[in-house]
């Protein structure tokens, strides 16, 4: 049985998969930051939702959408999420 890392490594050998991954890389990086911040704060999606003034399924959709590249959350939503986990949203252009 393959580990997740082994599966990713195998899949990224395929040019089409690698190209799509590169397209979604910024979303994956943002998702990684959100999940790390939530985990470090020790919060569930339900707790983040409560602090944002929304419901847990909305936070689940936000996190899932970044992994799929099908939805781009607003800056206001990202700002609320950051505040809910005790962080400040900072946007940089590289």
Asked whether the beta carbons of 48 and 85 are under 8 A apart, the reply is yes
CA distances from 27 to 1, 16, 21, 32, 54 (A): 28, 18, 10, 9, 22
- Give the mean pLDDT of 83-89: 97
Instruction: Work out the pLDDT band at 60, boundaries 50, 70, 90.
Output: very high
- For the chain, the structural domain boundaries read 24-94
pLDDT digits (tens, 9 = 90+) for 4-53: 889 989 999 999 999 988 988 888 899 999 999 999 999 999 999 999 99
24-94 has CATH 3.40.50.300 classification: no
- Give the mean pLDDT of 74-94: 95
- Taking residue 49's Cβ as centre, other Cβ atoms within 10 Å add up to 20
């Amino acid at each position: 049985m393959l580990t997740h890392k082994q599966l990713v490594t195998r899949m990224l050998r395929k040019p089409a998969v690698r190209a799509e991954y590169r397209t979604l890389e910024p979303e994956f990086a943002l998702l990684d930051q959100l999940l790390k911040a939530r985990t470090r704060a020790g919060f569930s999606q339900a707790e983040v939702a409560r602090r944002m003034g929304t419901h847990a399924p909305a936070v689940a959709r936000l996190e899932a959408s970044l992994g799929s590249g099908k939805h781009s959350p607003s800056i206001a939503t990202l700002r609320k999420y950051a505040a809910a986990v005790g962080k400040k949203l900072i946007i940089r252009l590289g």
